Structure 1
Amino acid sequence: MQAIKRKLQAYVNRCLRPILRIGWPRKICNIDFWRKINQRDITLEIRRRKFGWLGHILRKGTDSVPRNAPEWNPQGIRRRGRPKNWR
């Protein structure tokens, strides 16, 4: 899980640096970079957005797909290999 979080944060940093025109010779550590752009850690941002979405899901009916999606457990076994394209 930590590896995924690091990769996400690296991706966000890699996208924001060219937008803000912070090039290769000007090295800024990540903490100063986040402070400069007023950006939170990506894990905190994901958690905040998840809780915002949770309120919408809980107001849905009990038979709605988004409400049942977190508890859904697919049954059965998929076939091994590439799926055949049927025409």
Structure 2
Amino acid sequence: MQEKISVLAATSAKVGLIIHKEKTKILKILKTNLSNINPITLNGTPLEEVQLFTYLGGIIDQQGGTDADVKARIGKERVAFMQLKNIWACRELTLTTKIRLFNSNVKSVLLYYADTWGITKTTNRRIQTFINSCLRRIFHNLWPDTISKTNLWERTCQLSSEAEIWKRRWGLIGHTLSKPPTNITRWNKHLVMQP
């Protein structure tokens, strides 16, 4: 990494670009406990190491970021969902309209970038629980009234969160495979699908 930073700084300087040392941060995604790694420097100045970093709206931490990102997204979407509570309570709007609004304003933002997440059963359960609770509120099906999740999904025309994420992943891999074999995105090891 040190070598790449040095080459980047030298190449940038040739065209008149300067890397801002205070704005440049280092995040090490650790697979093992490596405590005595030399600090990465830029022109002799050590760069600040951070525990997590937000990039293009997604949170990345030292474990790769999925759990932190999912937790943050659910928190943001809970606020967005509650801001629309007047719409969910409105008797003049049809259930179909409310579900379309939920899919476009809440679910799509929640699952943004989900095709690149490393989903575990716990993470998937957390996402699905949030979606189910939102659908039950829209459907006005609150405790003690019960409805099975399968029946809820059928009545609201929803896929499970796991199926939705796989659908997005297949869309991403289809988009990637449509590029020429020489394109760099075809070489990305993170796009390899594993069921």
Could you tell me the TM-score, scaled by structure 1's length? 0.60
Q: Which is greater in Rg?
A: 2
Cα separation, partners in 2 of 1:69 and 1:5, compared to 1, 3 Å? farther
1:71-82 aligned within 5 A: 71=189
Which residue of structure 2 lines up, in the alignment, with residue 85 of structure 1? none
**Residues of 2 paired with 1:15 and 1:46: CA distance?**
18
Q: How many residues are matched?
A: 69
Which residue of structure 1 lines up, in the alignment, with residue 159 of structure 2? 40
Cα separation, partners in 2 of 1:70 and 1:16, compared to 1, 3 Å? farther
Which residue of 118, 139, 145 corresponds with 1:20? 139
**Residues of 2 paired with 1:12 and 1:70: CA distance?**
31
Q: How much has 1:69 moved relative to structure 2?
A: 8.1
Which residue of 169, 173, 178 corresponds with 1:59? 178
Q: How much has 1:68 moved relative to structure 2?
A: 6.1
2:166 maps to a residue whose letter is R
> Which structure 2 residue ranges, 5 or more long, are not aligned?
1-119, 191-195
Cα separation, partners in 2 of 1:19 and 1:4, compared to 1, 3 Å? same
> Which structure 1 residue ranges, 5 or more long, are not aligned?
73-87
Cα separation, partners in 2 of 1:68 and 1:58, compared to 1, 3 Å? closer
Matched, 1:8 2:104: no
Question: How much identity, in percent, do the aligned residues show?
Answer: 29
If each structure's strand is expressed as a fraction of its own residues, which one has the higher value?
2
Which residue of structure 2 lines up, in the alignment, with residue 50 of structure 1? 169
If each structure's helix is expressed as a fraction of its own residues, which one has the higher value?
1
**Residues of 1 paired with 2:187 and 2:128: CA distance?**
27
2:138 maps to a residue whose letter is I
Q: CA-atom RMSD, angstroms?
A: 2.3
